[in-house]
Amino acid sequence: MKIPIDELRFLEREKGIALETVISALESALAAAYKRQPNAPEGARVVVDRDSGDVTVFAQELDDEEQVIREWEDTPSDFGRIAAVTAKQVIMQRLREAERDVTFGEYEGRVGDIVTGIVQQRDQRHISVDLGKIEADLPHSEQVPSEHYQHNDRLKVYVTDVVRSARGLRVVVSRTHPNLIKRLFELEVPEIAEGIVEITNVAREPGHRTKIAVRSHEPGVDPKGACVGARGSRVRMVVNELRGEKIDIVSWSEDAAQFVAEALSPAKVKSVQIDEQERTAHVVVPDYQLSLAIGKEGQNARLAARLTGWRIDIVSESQAAEQASQGQRR
């Protein structure tokens, strides 16, 4: 009875499955198969010759402490069929494990990347996204509430986690992660991919609005213009992928007052006073710009505060004048 060593060596070369790993697994599986036979001794070991592939079964007599008292060769005459079936099962298992290892290695290195997939099965909480070799999980918490995912929809998703478990490989992806915005702009804006333009900050309310702060590392390169593209072509591609989510692109600045003023775009700002101790930016805007600066349900001001890291207090010019007048009367 022989194991096809040449085939195992081929697997080692082509699939990267170590010969010794497969043979050791085979020996364990064959020993277990031998002990399942009627009247088989309690102990047994199987040896597969690494050169010829010959299989030898050694029966063992054990004492009460599971120590070997004596050992003798006891290879059954009909063990060839069992060995063939067992070998096939072990090899298939090792192949599946090797493929899982390759897939894990491939996707483990892609945490933080964008991948494109096709929407497959879905229920109320989870959506499966077919990435080709594996299906990723888009949990309910990572879905944009305003997006409705249909079977066969093509989606770009952000890889947040890759986990290997007893049930296999689990790839978790997101449509809400702020870094999805960064990666989408990298795809559309060569200057970002090349490191000439940098997205320094992202503030996002998925499905509604995002603000990004950008700066240039090369004189003469307009970071906002690079991200917008000719006639808005680049930013439009990102907006389309996000299914209409609004995107404000603002210039990052070391000057906190200037950065806050930029972050409140599209509103026009009259003045910004920075209170370092309170970590607050006191902003004055023209009367007709107040509602725009605050935004619907406070969204514009809220995103600007998250983008800049400053608490923002906004008043109109008339409100500022009234406050100043009251201060003088006191």
pLDDT of 7 reads 83
Residue with tokens 């099962």: 89
Where among 108, 141, 165 does a domain terminate? Answer: 108
pLDDT of 170 reads 83
- pLDDT above 70: residue 330: no
**Are 277 and 301 members of one domain?**
yes
| Better-scored residue on pLDDT, 127 or 15 | 127
**Are 221 and 269 members of one domain?**
no
**Are 151 and 182 members of one domain?**
no
**Are 150 and 190 members of one domain?**
no
Q: Report the distance separating Cα 71 and Cα 245, nearest Å.
A: 74
Where among 222, 252, 282 does a domain terminate? Answer: 252
**Are 195 and 279 members of one domain?**
no
pTM over 0.75: no
pLDDT of 313 reads 96
Q: Report the distance separating Cα 179 and Cα 177, nearest Å.
A: 5
Q: Report the distance separating Cα 15 and Cα 11, nearest Å.
A: 5
What CATH number does residue 187 fall under? 3.30.300.20
Over residues 150-166, the pLDDT tens digits come to 889 999 999 999 887 76
Query: Which tokens belong to 115?
Result: 């991948």
**Are 103 and 41 members of one domain?**
yes
Tell which residue, 296, 141, 145, has the closest CA to residue 207: 145
Where among 174, 194, 224 does a domain terminate? Answer: 174
Q: Report the distance separating Cα 144 and Cα 176, nearest Å.
A: 6
The model's confidence at residue 1, banded by pLDDT at 50, 70 and 90, is low
Over residues 187-243, the pLDDT tens digits come to 999 999 999 999 999 999 999 999 999 999 999 999 999 999 999 999 999 999 999
Distance of CA 268 to the CA centre of its chain: 38
**Are 99 and 121 members of one domain?**
no
Q: Report the distance separating Cα 216 and Cα 197, nearest Å.
A: 4
**Are 206 and 134 members of one domain?**
no
If one counts the domains in the chain, the total is 4
Residues 174-180, mean pLDDT to the nearest whole number? 97
Over residues 60-116, the pLDDT tens digits come to 888 888 888 888 998 887 777 777 787 778 778 877 777 676 667 777 778 899 999
Strands (E), 22-111: 43-48, 55-62, 68-73
What CATH number does residue 129 fall under? 2.40.50.140
**Are 305 and 270 members of one domain?**
yes
**Are 41 and 125 members of one domain?**
no
Domain region containing 66: 5-108
DSSP 276: T
| Better-scored residue on pLDDT, 108 or 256 | 256
**Are 58 and 85 members of one domain?**
yes
**Are 210 and 240 members of one domain?**
yes
Distance of CA 261 to the CA centre of its chain: 34
